[in-house]
Amino acid sequence: MITPACDARGRREASGEPEKTALRVLVIDNYDSFTYNIVDYLARCGAAVTVMRNDAPLDINRISKQGSASPDAFDAVVISPGPGTPTIPSDLGVSAAALEHSEVPVLGVCLGMQAMAYVEGGRVEKAPEPVHGREDTIWVTSTGPLWEKIADSFTVVRYHSLVVTDVPDSMRVTARNAEGLVMALENRTKPWWGVQFHPESIGSEYGEQLIANFVGIAEQRETGRASHGRSVVVRESAVPEGVGPVDIFAALGGQGVLVEFEGKSIIAPHDGGKIIDSLDALSLSMDACPQVHVESNDGAIPAALPGWFGYVGYEANHSDFGPQAQAQAPVLGEALKMFFAERIVVMERGRLQLVALVSHNDRETREAIDWCDAAMAQIQAAPPVGTFDPSAVGRLRVRESRRKYLHSIAEIQELISQGATYEVCLTTQLEAPIDGDFDAPAAYRRLTEIAPAPMRSLLVLGDTHVVSSSPERFLKMSQGVVSSEPIKGTRARCQDEKKDADMRHDLATNKKDRAENLMIVDLVRNDLAHVCEYGSVRVDELCQVKTFSRAHQLVSTVSGKVRESATPVDVIRAAFPGGSMTGAPKYRTMEIIAELEGHPRGVYSGAVGFISVDGNMDLAMTIRTAVVQEQRLSYGVGGAIIALSNADAEWEEIVTKSAPLLSLVAQGFPHEELLEFDGARLQPALHTQPPTVIDSFLLVDGHARGFDSHCRRFRASCLELQTAREDEIDRFLAAVKRELPLHGEWFPRLESLPGGALRVRFRPAPKRREATTLTTVMVQPGQTQHPTIKGPDLSELLRIKNAVPTDDAVLVSPRGVHETTTAALMAWKDNELVSMQAERLSSVTECMVKEIARELGYRVTQKTYDRSALRGAELWVVNALHGISRVSELDGEPVPCDTQRLARFRHMLAGKQQPLIREN
């Protein structure tokens, strides 16, 4: 039972009238995404609850003895969890005032408990590690009414980055975990109780009992729309042989929506009628639509009903979250695109139905029958959809490169450690231009063959095409019950049965994936509690592994009975955007997403599906979805980032989740990021021609060997070939240094083009070689035009390298041995390290190896070697990528190696890596 309250923007938080005199509880919501799970538990215990945001005005008389006689006074207060810290006043808002003035029982949860300790003089600091969505065992260390009917030790779910470290004298600890961290507090003189864990979480034992105990403490201290008679015309037949849903979609004009949800296909043709572009407009359209009596002209029961079809984009509900939750860039196309379809085609179990909505008049009935006849004729003659041509899609690029994505992960994990969020669904998008016509039905057929999934959909409305094969149901509403099936946790399938079973087992038992999923389950429960009858929200399945064609995924199911006053649009607003695509707490996390991603998501991570005229609804999450708008294709991919996330593994998940699109367009993943210097900063490259001068270096977690030496060599080469001015080169190198990634393994390449263009190519570091096989190749004088500069002869060197059966080729001219096509060659003669005396590239890594040799007391010389001098010698190839790689085979013959000496040199070379200090 909840009474209405409004937040600072005037939005009603909840509604409903108390059915009887009950305990009146004020819940102060600190913008947390699990608050309504607490509200739900309170309502189950018979409390009448009012929810207010922490930035709404608080009448302190309603929580003090002075106002206790007032009919609107509260009998108890609950201070919810939330992002932030009690040391920042804006994070607590009126929660602090409630603690200062309240004379009724107060329960503080997570941030609420920390606030209790802080205002009493305690200290709140960072926990040993951020813990979000993870189960833990706590021990109750004190008796009291809050712990009645609760075991001495039990499992709870924790969501916090901060802990109470110094407990004030006015409070006592009533529960701890195995680490000794404070898990519950009680004030010695005031009616305050606090818990650090989340009793409302589905993973917490005794959560509802604890809330009931608090309600008991407080109690003890306080001794439908009208029907206009529309019906449907239904025409039934068998499905014509060889005709599929997408063939029917194309035959009926190729405009509208096709959904194939769990075995039932619905085709809703769009006849050019009005497009609905906002949730408000959708609500008005539904209010104006008369309810339907499900009766047909011939007694057939329709398998589905007409209604509203289309997509709800990620930004469609952002007015409810404020401007900080919105990316600054404009949304491409409409944030919402739906239309009302009076006529649909349904396919299920080999049967075909044409369903048309009519009023009770002969004209509409005749028109509906005529449409059924015409549509059936078109379906009977429907040709098969053609084969998708991947050449229609231009070269793919990824909007957030691996470098930027890993940097964003680091920022998120720092925010998690500060208590600002628990989990952030970070995403990026693959993009490409469309050359010519995009055949959406053909693309849909191919995508659903590549990656079959239970929630497939195709939308074509004007120049907007949405091709989706989603594994995730966002919302389903049927007969007054709403359900959601969030997915969090993914493993790629393996062809090997044992490995595939191992992947499935790992997903089922992995703490990180369970934490991700559990957090979203709690968030979805909270969202549904806004619109469901209290006590009705249930978790039907928790963290179940479901297997699809390309992946195993961790799926949960949450359901609840929708309040009679709530419409489908109310349900969408309460749950949108889906928690599995935002993270939690939703409000603050969406602000973080807007700041880090910087671009609107559009159709991706919204929902696509339908709302029937009888109020039933089915919406898929728009993931694994290709979107074409304004002749550009986009395909969103992302993953949940929590404290336990590994940045490299998260990027690999991005690559894995891109596989359906890559197969569709017959391209590889665009791992590289090419940036061009515009005189001030690096921007996505405009030039695609090959460079004249290049230089590469290895970068590992912000550390590099000889970075300055590589820059000097690049500068000297550019000046020698006059490809760029010195001042321009220096500004470019400074800009590169500012943008170098601080996380991950990279092999960046500096590039100079004819005409003065300067670029940097960020590439993931290839696998390093421990050993190298070589073949000697004779080259003629002049075969390479610029042997001392890296870049001009790149294509010729690559041709030579690709022509030999070994890892690399040794270049030998009549003047002697030079180098390999990719590295310097060094030889050992007893305790003498020999480098090749020849016209060749000056090697940065070779210079370092020489320094090490001198430090260790070896003699270092430079000699002219012919091919025969190499035989029997210990040989090393050295370069920026591989460091020192021993030559294991030369022209098919084994090469000796002093493994101890090699290991020592490699160890010392690794010590040459220096952290790069960014220049502002």
Show which residues are catalytic. 110, 198, 200
Mapped onto helix, strand or coil, the DSSP state of residue 671 is: coil
DSSP E strand stretches across 55-197: 76-79, 106-109, 123-140, 153-166, 171-177, 182-187, 192-195
Helices 279-288 and 568-575, interaxial angle, to 10°? Answer: 160
Structure tokens belonging to residue 127 = 């926990």
3-state percent helix, strand, coil for the chain, nearest multiple of 5: 30, 35, 35
d(CA 636, CA 639): 11
For 212-255, the DSSP string reads HHHHHHHHHHT--PPEEEEEEEEEEEEPPTT--HHHHHHHTTS-
Write phi, then psi, for 803 (nearest 5 degrees).
Answer: -85, -10
d(CA 528, CA 521): 11
Cα 390-396-400 angle, rounded to 5 deg: 150
d(CA 249, CA 459): 10
Instruction: Respond yes or no on whether the N-terminal peptide bond of residue 577 is cis (omega within 30° of 0).
Output: yes
- Tell me which residue of 687, 654, 744, 734 sits closest to 400, measured CA to CA: 654
Beta strands at 481-484 and 473-478: parallel, antiparallel or unpaired: antiparallel
Say if CB 28 and CB 50 are below 8 A apart.
no
Distance of CA 694 to the CA centre of its chain: 35
d(CA 39, CA 52): 11
d(CA 99, CA 749): 59
Structure tokens belonging to residue 1 = 């039972």
d(CA 207, CA 210): 5
- Torsion sign over Cα 696, 700, 706, 707: positive
Distance of CA 778 to the CA centre of its chain: 52
d(CA 513, CA 552): 12
Pure H helices in 297-389: 362-380
Mapped onto helix, strand or coil, the DSSP state of residue 872 is: coil
- 3-state SS of 191-218 is CEEEECCCCCCCCCCCHHHHHHHHHHHH
d(CA 679, CA 688): 18
